[in-house]
Amino acid sequence: MLRAFLLVFDSYEVTRQAILDYLDTQSAIKHWYAFLPTAIVVISDQTPYLLATVFRQKFPSKFFIISEVLFGRNDGWLPKGVWDFINNPKSSGRWPP
C-alpha cells in the first residue's frame, strides 16, 4: 500500500535539487512532490525507518525528518494540488509495483 510521507530538511546543509536527484534513483521512492524550499512529500510503500535509512545513505550527516502524513489526521494551509497528492498517493510509474 502506498503512503505519503513528509520529508523536511535543512537547506543550509543540502540543496533541494540534490535531494530530488537522489530520490529519483531510489526504488523505495515511488513518487515525490516538492512544494516548499525545504519540504517534499514522498510516496512509498516502505516504513519511515527504511526511508530514513535510504536518505542517510546519501546524506549521512544532514539534519532531516521523515513523518507519515495520515489521511484525515492532518491540517495546514497548502495548495489543493499538494493535498490531492498527499490524500491520493500514486506511483510515478518509474518503478515497478
The total domain count for the chain is: 1
Type and span of the H or E element at 22: helix 16-23
Position 3 confidence tier, pLDDT thresholds 50, 70, 90: very high
* Model pLDDT for residues 24-80, shown as the tens digit of each residue: 999 999 999 998 999 999 999 999 999 999 999 999 999 999 999 986 677 677 788
75's CB contacts (< 8 A; 6+ apart) are none
Residue 46 in domain: yes
Q: Is 96 within the bounds of a domain?
A: no
Whole-prediction pTM: 0.87
CATH code of residue 28:
3.30.70
Would you say residue 94 lies in a domain?
no
Torsion of CA 9, 11, 14, 18, to 10 degrees: 80
Residue 43 in any domain: the answer is: yes
Task: Write down the H helix ranges in 24-97.
Answer: 48-58, 80-87
Terminal alpha carbon distance of the chain: 10
The domain in which residue 48 lies consists of: 3-87
Span 20-26, average pLDDT:
97
